[in-house]
Amino acid sequence: MRPFDRSRVRGSLRRLVLVLALIATPALASADPPPAPEHLLPADEVLRLLEEASGLESAGKSNLAASRPDAVAADSLHAYDAIHYRLDVTPSRTSRHVDGTVTLTLVVRDPAFTTVDLDAIAMTFSSIKVAGSPRTTWTYAGGKLSVPVCEGPSCPPHATGDTLVVEVTYACNPTLGYYYYTRNSYTLAEPWEARYWWPCYDEPSDKTTLDLYATVPVTESCWSNGVLVDVVPGAPGLHVWHWRETHPIATYLVSIATANFWRFDQVAGTVPIVNVAFPEDSTKAKLEYVNVPAMVTTFSNLWAPYPFDKYGQATVDPFGAGGMEHQSMTTLRRSLLRGDRLYESVWVHELAHMWWGDWVTCVDFRDIWLNEGFATFAEALWVENFVSPTAYDANIAAAMNSALNADTNFRYAIYDPPPNYIFGTTIYKKGGSVLHMLRRVLGDSDFFAGMQLYGQRHAYGNASTRDFQQAMEDASGETLDWFFDEWIFAGGIPTYAWSWQAVAADPPAPGESDVALFVRQVQTAAPLYRMPIEFKVTRSAAPDTFVTVWNDAVAEQAFAVRVNGTVTGVTLDPRNSILKRVQNYVLDADVPAAALDPGPGRIELSAAPNPARGSVVLRGAWLGGGAATIPAAARFAVFDAAGRLVRDLGTAASAPGGGGFAVTWDRLDDAGRAVAPGIYFAQVVAGVKREARPIVIVP
Ligand SMILES: [Zn+2]
């Protein structure tokens, strides 16, 4: 690299600007009718929609947004530090009902506090005590149980640093958080649903140790966090399973899974692994989990020794998510156990959460990418280490493709996602891609040293995005505000419009030539990106050479590179180190490329009624971007649960005033037959934006 003399290619540059002016116009789809729907949805979208659909029926990770507390900020007035929960529960095995007693040990932070506030939804309380003395004047409103510290003559010491013990005996019929089925009962509580099955301070930043006693039928086994202390007889026909987690755990990771399970043990070095599944799944489970010990070893070598006393996987059915990373005891969806390891990436993902999510927990759910982006990136690290670097490249390319599609449909920043997008594709796939990019920016040595430092600093605790940034800066010696600001705290993806031109070396140098590289960033509704961009330069009679330039956060930049030989071609980002859109064009041919940037605005799909017996009204609402971006028409279609097109519903014009589209699906397929009850996917396409949602048709 050397400084670039712009005057030498000024003519070409002026021409470049003209060409770019033509291609930089945002893609407004208003003039073009929406295309006919595809006949098959992509497999990864089908899986995502199926997860969402199962959430519709049974509630699960996709219902989580609905449970978002109204005033998370109110919890900032947290007057105590929860340090230990003893949780005695009897999950009913005949209905969705839980009886329990929570014994909270806390340390006072604010000596002026008068109540111990706990999150609890739809519970009844039969006994409440503070320091062993009954309380009768507690209040319960708005999902908060407020227990008076003092009542009458009973007023235990509560200066800063004092320890208090609060005991709450409760009962509930949870609508979320705890799930009962004939064959199994289990919990699934991320992010704010622990409060539906046990009273607690339900934010991820207040981690505690845990003793969990679960009373279940003697015909069943009950699996939970940490180590199994003992199993002792309870009332006739019941056993009490005592699990102890001595490592701090967040409330959303506290879990039980109980059923008549078959058990299969493995070991990874000194780490015991226990898997439980239904007895008839034993052969499949052994095949599916064959690589799990190697996964534990791989991640232990990359990051830190496995941080808990055991690892486990409990398979339950039905399950709203694919998997859930309950601390030291993951819960998995039974239908993923096929015997062919098709969903092995799910085992990898949940295991990776033991480090990123459980060992180091996001300080609140605005930083959820520190859990999900990391676990997604770990899927690529696993195949890189276990299969090949080529498999890593393919995994990253697929994640980037998903991130691009998600960005096309709805652009938002990774940090503090909109309420319905805490578990959005952008969090997972763009989040994972960001870690890949950071790895390429810093190099492997600094990057992995930074991950290890981040883990050591926040082990068994919490971390924010800026904490992660600080660890990477300290490990690398680089300042990284620019990187995190553009990739995490702002929404969007760069679109590079670029070209190159070979020119004679100046001053003349026999056998050498200069390559002029022109880079313009043409994205809209996104920042300008500062990034190192690598180019591959292909030469006649010489091997390819690679050069990296620092593209500043500017709309247009040009570079010159001196190379030996005659240049025959240039490739931007040959190793796929940047999540991006690219517009290539030939500098001296005035052929404008299609603008790729999706532009502002998005289409949101709703269906009502849902579940439905007869007709379903599908509505598309155009949000954001302003009136000028509203497409003239939107096109609707319905697919079956395998992703196959069932009905092309054609286009609907924007309603007067703009921004609303609606069609009615009469439950018929394209051949005019009524479809069978089951799960279907409705899709709306408006311009380059689309959204799909599950619909359930009931008999
Ligand atoms: Zn995850």
Domains of the chain from N-terminus onward:
41-58+600-697 (2.60.40.1930), 74-260 (2.60.40.1730), 360-487 (1.10.390.10), 493-584 (2.60.40.1840)
Phi, psi for 404 (deg, rounded to 5): -65, -45
What's residue 625's pLDDT? 79
Residue 203: pLDDT over 50: yes
CA of 371 to the centre of ligand 1 (A): 7
Q: Are 332 and 313 in contact (CB under 8 A)?
A: yes
Confidence band for 595, pLDDT divided at 50, 70 and 90: low
What's residue 600's pLDDT? 78
Q: Which of 74-83, 226-235, 511-520, 666-675 has the lowest mean pLDDT?
A: 74-83
CA of 84 to the centre of ligand 1 (A): 26
Residue found by looking up tokens 């701090």 in the block: 248
CA of 91 to the centre of ligand 1 (A): 26
The arithmetic mean of pLDDT across residues 286-299, rounded, is 98
Confidence band for 525, pLDDT divided at 50, 70 and 90: confident
CA of 379 to the centre of ligand 1 (A): 11
Confidence band for 507, pLDDT divided at 50, 70 and 90: confident
Confidence band for 10, pLDDT divided at 50, 70 and 90: very low
Q: Are 576 and 550 in contact (CB under 8 A)?
A: no
Q: What is the SS3 string spanning 278-345?
A: CHHHHHHHHHHCCCHHHHHHHHHHHCCCCCCCCEEEEEECCCCCCEECCCCCEEEEHHHCCCCCCCHH
Confidence band for 665, pLDDT divided at 50, 70 and 90: very high
CA of 13 to the centre of ligand 1 (A): 46
Q: Which two tokens stand for residue 559?
A: 């570079």
CA of 585 to the centre of ligand 1 (A): 39
Average pLDDT in the chain: 89
Cα Rg of the chain (Å, integer): 28
Q: Are strands 581-584 and 495-504 parallel, antiparallel or unpaired?
A: parallel
Torsion of CA 201, 206, 209, 215, to 10 degrees: 30
pLDDT tens digit sequence for 606-650 = 999 888 898 999 999 998 878 888 888 999 999 998 889 999 999
Q: Are 213 and 102 in contact (CB under 8 A)?
A: no
Closest CA to 402 of 113, 82, 42: 42
Residue 17: pLDDT over 50: no
Residue 303: pLDDT over 70: yes
CA of 377 to the centre of ligand 1 (A): 10
Label residues 530-554 b or e (16+ Cβ within 10 Å = b).
ebebbbebebeeeeebebebebeee
CA of 353 to the centre of ligand 1 (A): 7
What's residue 8's pLDDT? 41
CA of 433 to the centre of ligand 1 (A): 15
pLDDT tens digit sequence for 341-354 = 999 999 999 999 99
d(CA 382, CA 394): 12
CA of 423 to the centre of ligand 1 (A): 8
Q: Which of 1-15, 104-118, 161-175 has the lowest mean pLDDT?
A: 1-15
CA of 325 to the centre of ligand 1 (A): 7
CA of 375 to the centre of ligand 1 (A): 6
Residue found by looking up tokens 């007035």 in the block: 77
What's residue 679's pLDDT? 87
CA of 355 to the centre of ligand 1 (A): 12
CA of 554 to the centre of ligand 1 (A): 35
Q: Is the dihedral of CA 103, 107, 113, 119 positive or negative?
A: negative
SS3 content of the chain, % helix, strand, coil (to 5): 25, 35, 35
CA of 118 to the centre of ligand 1 (A): 27
Secondary structure element (H or E) that encloses residue 492, with its range:
none
pLDDT tens digit sequence for 251-261 = 999 999 999 99
What's residue 53's pLDDT? 65
Q: Are 199 and 124 in contact (CB under 8 A)?
A: no
CA of 590 to the centre of ligand 1 (A): 47
* DSSP code of residue 191: T
d(CA 425, CA 403): 7
Residue 66: pLDDT over 60: no
Residue 58: pLDDT over 90: no
Closest CA to 29 of 618, 498, 496, 594: 594
Confidence band for 228, pLDDT divided at 50, 70 and 90: very high
CA of 200 to the centre of ligand 1 (A): 23
CA of 374 to the centre of ligand 1 (A): 8
Residue 518: pLDDT over 70: yes
Entry pTM: 0.88
CA of 376 to the centre of ligand 1 (A): 7
Residue 12: pLDDT over 60: no
What's residue 64's pLDDT? 40
CA of 417 to the centre of ligand 1 (A): 16
CA of 349 to the centre of ligand 1 (A): 6
CA of 332 to the centre of ligand 1 (A): 12
CA of 56 to the centre of ligand 1 (A): 19
What's residue 587's pLDDT? 59
CA of 114 to the centre of ligand 1 (A): 38
CA of 524 to the centre of ligand 1 (A): 30
CA of 460 to the centre of ligand 1 (A): 18
CA of 372 to the centre of ligand 1 (A): 5
Residue 423: pLDDT over 70: yes
CA of 428 to the centre of ligand 1 (A): 8
CA of 216 to the centre of ligand 1 (A): 29
CA of 351 to the centre of ligand 1 (A): 9
CA of 269 to the centre of ligand 1 (A): 25
The arithmetic mean of pLDDT across residues 390-403, rounded, is 96
CA of 357 to the centre of ligand 1 (A): 8
Residue 661: pLDDT over 60: yes
* DSSP code of residue 522: -
Confidence band for 146, pLDDT divided at 50, 70 and 90: very high
